[in-house]
Amino acid sequence: MADLSGAEVAIEIGRAQDLAADILGAVGAPDEVAREVAEHLVDADRSGHGSHGVGRLPWYVKYVREGVVRPQATPEVIDDSPATVVDGRWGFSHPAARLATDLACERARDSGLAMVGVTRCTHLGRLGAYMERAAAADCIAIAFLGGLGGSRLVAPFGGARGLLGSNPLAAGFPSASGMPLVVDFATAAMPIGKVMIAAQAGRRLPSPALIDREGHPTDDPMALEEGGAMRVFGDNKGFGLAVLIELLGRVLVAAPASDDDAGGPSFRRQGLLLVAIAADAFRALSEVLDDAARLQDDIHAVAAADGFERVLAPGEPEHDSRARHSTEIEIPAGTWTAICKVATEIGLPETALPEARST
């Protein structure tokens, strides 16, 4: 392997997808599941969200080894009345979220509005990807992911210990511009994946997004492993939103898991509620899409404040990042080392590792 001394390495997109699929296949994922998850991970890196990219592979392998993920499982629809329920069956759950998105959009186009819940799911990847998929189908989508709190990662506002998960919210809205407006954020002050990547790279966090085990704010990513917790964003407002998502994702949707189920402490209570609205539910589709595009134009027309080049619409940073990374992804060198290590441990030959170059 070449000597990679830079802070980041670049890998050709197709080769990165092949490696990710090979790793997932080696731990038991069916070919179609391995390929779908691999493409999702690489797209997350292309979109500028390395916290949900190929850096997750060592954790995915760990989940399989610990029995948290059942790699051969594929999703199935278990209830279709009155609301649709997709059972992720404790497998790699990106296909379950994609299936839920497609079903919700299909039903919304027939009736104007549809809801789909996903239960017994593990890590779903970047929620924004499913919002983009819904927007491409001329639907507005809103996703609430609650219950990712079995390991009590996030402290309530004013609290000194963890209680909830990162409880993300995502939404997407199509536009005549061809670029949907997409929001996708955790109610934790920072996504857990970014904390993982910072710890892996030996870097401090850009802000004190955690508390240590005594409840003091800190930017040390290792505090999470040492008994600390994550903070909510926006103080009491972020906490209120996190509780709402817990109610919608876990309390409303997620069925209690039996003691012998997989899922592990982190995913055992997790549930996804996905709501889809047909973009023409209230007026002509072309009018809605044109108004959305005008809103994007209005956002762009606002003068940039000091320190900013221009004002971006929600979803535009990801769109621009994919344009910049049309042939390669860039990941931290420490992440690449961890991926190579786990690939070797599960028996992949060195020839399966793509060439990476320092950037």
> What's the pLDDT score for residue 7?
85
pLDDT tens per residue across span 180-229:
999 999 999 987 778 888 887 788 999 999 999 999 999 999 998 898 99
Identify the helix (H) or strand (E) that includes residue 62.
Answer: helix 57-65
| CATH number, span 82-188+233-286 | 3.30.1370.60
Cβ atoms within 10 Å of 10's Cβ, excluding its own: 19
> What's the pLDDT score for residue 257?
63
pLDDT tens per residue across span 130-183:
999 999 999 999 999 998 866 678 999 999 999 998 999 999 999 999 999 999
Q: What string of pLDDT tens digits covers the 359 residues of the chain?
A: 455 656 899 999 999 999 999 999 999 999 999 999 999 999 999 999 998 999 999 999 999 999 999 999 999 999 777 789 999 999 999 999 999 999 999 999 999 999 999 999 999 999 999 999 999 999 999 999 998 866 678 999 999 999 998 999 999 999 999 999 999 999 999 877 788 888 877 889 999 999 999 999 999 999 988 989 999 999 999 999 999 999 999 999 986 665 566 888 889 889 999 999 999 999 999 999 999 999 999 999 999 999 999 999 999 999 999 999 999 999 999 899 999 999 999 999 988 899 899 98
> What's the pLDDT score for residue 1?
47
**CATH class (in words) of the domain with range 1-79+325-359:** mainly alpha
> What's the pLDDT score for residue 225?
86
Residue 195 to residue 42: CA distance in whole angstroms? 19
CB–CB of 101/274 below 8 Å? Answer: yes
What are the structure tokens assigned to 48, written together? 């500028």
CB–CB of 162/195 below 8 Å? Answer: no
Paired strand residues for 357: 10
**What are the two backbone dihedrals, phi and then psi, of residue 328, each rounded to the nearest 5 degrees?**
-135, 155
> What's the pLDDT score for residue 263?
85
Please state whether beta strands 8-12 and 357-358 pair in parallel, antiparallel, or not at all (unpaired). Answer: antiparallel
> What angle, 0 to 180 degrees and rounded to 10, lies between the N-to-C axes of helices 316-324 and 31-46?
100
Residue 32 to residue 34: CA distance in whole angstroms? 6
**Whether the domain at 1-79+325-359 and the domain at 82-188+233-286 fall into the same CATH topology:** no
Sign of the torsion angle spanned by Cα atoms 248, 235, 49, 300: positive
Domain extent listing, the chain:
1-79+325-359, 82-188+233-286
